[in-house]
Structure 1
Amino acid sequence: MGKSDCKMNPKSRTARLFTNSERRILFFTNAGHFLAHSLILIFPSIATPLAQELILPFEQVLRISFLMYLFYGVGGLPAGFFTDRINPRISLTVYFLGIGLACLVTSFTKTKTQLQIALMILGIFLSIYHPAGIGLLSRSMKNRGMAMGINGTYGSIGIASAPFLAGIINYFLGWRSIYRIMGFPPILLGVLLCITGLPEVKREEDSSRVGGRRKGRSTLLPFLILCVSMALAGFVYRGQTLLLPTYFEKKISFLYELVKNVELVRMESMKTLSATLLTSLVYVISIFGQIAGGRIADRTELRHAYLFFFLGALPFLFMMYFFQNLLLLGASILFILLTIGMQPVENSLIAKLTPSKWRNTSYGIKFTLTFGISSAVIYPIGFFQSRYSLEAVFLFFSALIGVLVLNNLLLILSTRGKSIRN
C-alpha cells in the first residue's frame, strides 16, 4: 500500500462521519444557515445609501428594519411549533421560497412604507430556519455535535460575508440589486428541495431519555435554567454585533494609520472601512471555534463544556474594557471564538433536555430568546454610553456573563448525578 493510500482526504473523512442521507440534509441546512445570517445583515450595510436616497437621518433609516428584526426573533417559536406538526422538508421549502420571493419584492419597493413591509415579510420567513434546520439536525445526525459545528460555520461565513457582498454589489449596481441577486439562490434551493425531497434519519438512541431516565418533568427545570443562560448569551451576542465595528473604529487605529497615506485609498470613510474589515476578520476566525465546539460536543460532558466555554470567555470580555489596538483585537478574537464555539454544545444540550416531538419548538424558544428579546439590548447600550462611556458597556456585558456562569453552575446542580452527552 502506497503512502497516498494511507492518507485520508477530507472527502473520505466526511464520508465516514456522515451517511449519504445525512450529507443531503447538511447541504440544505448549511445553505439555509448561510442565507439566514447573510440576509439579516444586509440592511445595516446599505443604511448609508438608503439615507441618501430617502433623505432621512441615519437613525431613522435604521428604524425601517425594526419589524424585520422583531419578527426574525419572535417568529421562531410559532415556526418551531408548526414544524413539530408537519414535515421539516415543508418548513424548509417554505423558508427558501419565502425568503427568495421576499428579497425580490424588497428590490422593487419605491417608498419607505413599502420597504418596511417587505423587510418585515423577509424577517417572518427568515425566522423559520433556526427551529426547522437546527431541529432537523438534532434529530437526524449520529455525530450531532460535529454536524452542528459544521452547520455553524456556514452561519459564521454568512455573518462575515454579508458586508462584503452588500458593499460590492451596491458599489456597482445599487442597493436594490443586492436583494434582487440574493433572491434567486434560495428560490432555486426551494425548487430543488421540492424535487429531491429530504430524508430524516432517525438516530438509534432513545432520545426520550437522559441519564437513563425518561424526559419530562425531570428535565423541565434544567431546560428553564438553560433558557436563562441562552437569553443572557443572546443579549451579549446581539450587543457585540451592534457595538464591535464602532468600538474598533474608536479604539483600534493601526490599520487606518497603515493605509491612510496611500494615495489610492485616501478617503473620509477609510477609518470606518478599517474597523469593518477587522470586525469581519474576528468573525471569520470564529469559524474555527464552531468546528472545535462541534468536536467537544461529541466528546465531552455537555454541561461542563458549556460552563467552561463561558468561564474562559469572561476574562477576555473584561479585558476589552481596558485594551486598545492589537491587544483589543486579540481579546475580541478570543472572546468571540469561545462564545461562537459554544453553540454546538448549547444546541446539543437543548436536544438532550427536550423530547423529540417538541424539538423544533424548543429551538424556537431558544431563538426567540436569543434573537427576539435580545433586540432590547439597544436600551442599556444607550444608557451606559450616554451616562458613562462606550467602554462601560463592556463592563455591563461582563457582569451579564458572570451571572450566566453562575446560572450554568445552577444547571449542573439541578442535574447532579446525571451524565448528559451526545
Structure 2
Amino acid sequence: MDDNDRSIVGFVMIGHAMVHTYELSIPILMTVWLLEFSTTAAMLGIVVAIGYGLFGVGALPGGLLVDRFGPRTLISSCLAGMGLSFLALSLAPSVVGIAVALALWGVAASVYHPAGLTLISNGVEERGRGFAYHGMAGNVGIAGGPLLTAVLLLAFDWRLVTALLAIPAVIAAVIGMTIEFDPTAAADVADSDRERRIPTSLVGFAGETRRLFTLSFLLVFVIVSFNGLYYRGVLTFLPDLLGDFLTAAVGDIQLFSPDSPVAEKFDLAQYLYAGLLTVGIGGQYLGGRLTDTIEPERGLVIMLAILTAIGLLFVPAAKAGLGGLLAGSLVLGFALFAMQPLTQATIARYSIPESRGLSFGYTYLATFGIGALGAAVVGTVLTYASVSIVFGVLASFSVLGGLFAIALVTSQ
C-alpha cells in the first residue's frame, strides 16, 4: 500500500471499529439500566430498537449524502455525532433520555457504512486489502466494545463510562478532517466512463429503485431482513441471558473478595459475551472462504440452517452445564458472523453494478433497520414468556430466512 492507501485505510478502520464499539456496548449498558431505572426488558428493548432502527434506516439517505458531500465529511460527522450522543447519554435522567441519546447515535452512525465503503472503493488502489483490514477493524470493535465497557464498569459509574467512550470518537473526527489523502485516487477510467445513476429527485430515486428490485434482489432483501432480526434479537439481551445461564450452571462465582467494590460490579457473563463476539472473527473468515468455494446463496441456506439448530438447541445445551453453555456460545458466535460475508457476496451478485451503492443502502436498511425490531420482539417475549420461547422465536426468523434462501437458489 502507498501513503494514500494507508491514510484512507487507517481512517476507515478507526471509523468502523468505533461504530461497532458503540453498537455492541449498548447491550452491556442495558444490564445496568435495567436496575438503574427499574424498567422492564420490554420497555428497554423498544428504547434500544429506536436507536438501532435509525442506524439501519439512515443508511439509505446516508448513501445519497455521501455522493453529494463526500465520504470524508460524512465519516467525520458520523464520528463527532456518535461521540456527542454518548456524551448526551451520560447525562440522561431517565429512560426517555436514553431513548433520545440512542436515537441521536443511530442517526449519526447510519451514514458510516455507505461512506466508508465508498471511500475504500474510490480511494484505495489495493481495494482487496483495504476491505479486509476494514472488516477486521469492525470485528475488533464488535468484540472489544463490550469488553472495554465491561472493564470500565468495574471501576466507574455507567455515566462516567459513557462519557469516557465519547472522547476517542470526537478526537478521530478532528483527525479525519485534517489528515491528507486523495479520496478518488483509485477511480479508474472504466468507473468514470460508466453512466452514473445517482438519483437527483424523488422520481429518479423511485425509478432506480424499481430497476434494482428484481425478484432475485427482493428475495435477497427479505433474507437479510430475517437475518437482521435474528442478529439484533439475540445480541441485544444475550449478556443478561448468559448471566442467568452461568448462575444456573456454576452458581454465584466470587472471583473477588465480597467486601471489594469490584465484586459488586464484576459480571462474568459480560466477559463470556465478549468472548462469543471475539469468536465471530473466525466466523467472518469462514464465511469469506465459503464465498470462494460455493455460490453465496447456497452458503446462506447452510448457515441459516445452522442458526435454526442453534435456536432450538441453545437453551437445552446451556441448561446441561457449563460445557454445554460454552459450546453453544462458541457455535453461536461463529455462525452469527459467518453470515456477513455471505450476505455481502449475495447482495453483490444480485444487484446492478451501477446502482451498487443504492443496493447496499437498501440492504443495510433491511439488516439494521428492520432487524432492529428483533430487539423489541425479543424484549417483549422475554418479559412475558420463557427463555426457551425467545430462542424459538429466533429460530423462526432463521427458518423463514432459509426458506427464502432456498427460493433464491431454486429460482436460478
TM-score by length of 2: 0.78
**Which residue of 4, 17, 20 corresponds with 1:37?**
20
| Mapping for residues 1-400 of structure 1, pairs under 5 Å | 21-47=4-30, 56-57=38-39, 65=48, 67-107=50-90, 116-137=99-120, 147-195=130-178, 196-200=180-184, 201-202=186-187, 217=211, 220-253=214-247, 256-257=250-251, 259-260=253-254, 263=257, 273-298=267-292, 300-324=294-318, 325-378=322-375, 380-381=377-378, 384-385=381-382, 389-400=386-397
**Structure 1 residue 268: Cα displacement:** 11
Aligned CA distance change for structure 1 residues 143 and 412 (closer, same or farther; 3 Å): farther
| Cα pair 1:320 1:394 within 8 Å, conserved | yes
| Cα pair 1:75 1:127 within 8 Å, conserved | yes
Q: Distance in 1 between matches of 2:313 and 2:38?
A: 37
Moved more, 398-407 or 136-145: 136-145
Aligned CA distance change for structure 1 residues 21 and 311 (closer, same or farther; 3 Å): farther
Aligned CA distance change for structure 1 residues 359 and 190 (closer, same or farther; 3 Å): farther
**Which residue of 398, 402, 408 corresponds with 2:399?**
402
Q: Distance in 2 between matches of 1:110 and 1:321?
A: 36
| Cα pair 1:68 1:123 within 8 Å, conserved | yes
**Structure 1 residue 41: Cα displacement:** 3.5
Q: Deviations over 1:201-247 (max 9, x none)?
A: 247887989xxxxx995872221110111001000111111242233
Aligned CA distance change for structure 1 residues 261 and 283 (closer, same or farther; 3 Å): closer
| Cα pair 1:249 1:271 within 8 Å, conserved | no
Q: Distance in 2 between matches of 1:302 and 1:398?
A: 21
Q: Identity of counterpart residues, as a percentage?
A: 25
Q: Distance in 2 between matches of 1:114 and 1:397?
A: 29
**Structure 1 residue 138: Cα displacement:** 5.6
Q: Distance in 2 between matches of 1:262 and 1:91?
A: 45
Q: Distance in 1 between matches of 2:256 and 2:89?
A: 38
- SS for the counterpart of 1:90 is helix
Query: 1:282 corresponds to which letter in structure 2?
Result: L
| Cα pair 1:83 1:132 within 8 Å, conserved | yes
**Structure 1 residue 407: Cα displacement:** 1.5
| Cα pair 1:321 1:392 within 8 Å, conserved | no
> CA RMSD of the aligned region, Å?
3.9
Q: Distance in 2 between matches of 1:323 and 1:271?
A: 27
**Structure 1 residue 258: Cα displacement:** 8.6
Query: 1:89 corresponds to which letter in structure 2?
Result: R
Q: Distance in 2 between matches of 1:142 and 1:304?
A: 31
Q: Distance in 2 between matches of 1:140 and 1:307?
A: 34
Aligned CA distance change for structure 1 residues 245 and 193 (closer, same or farther; 3 Å): closer
> Can you give the 5+ residue segments of structure 1 that lack an aligned partner in the other structure?
1-14, 210-214, 417-422
Q: Distance in 2 between matches of 1:313 and 1:115?
A: 31
Moved more, 143-152 or 365-374: 143-152
Aligned length: 392
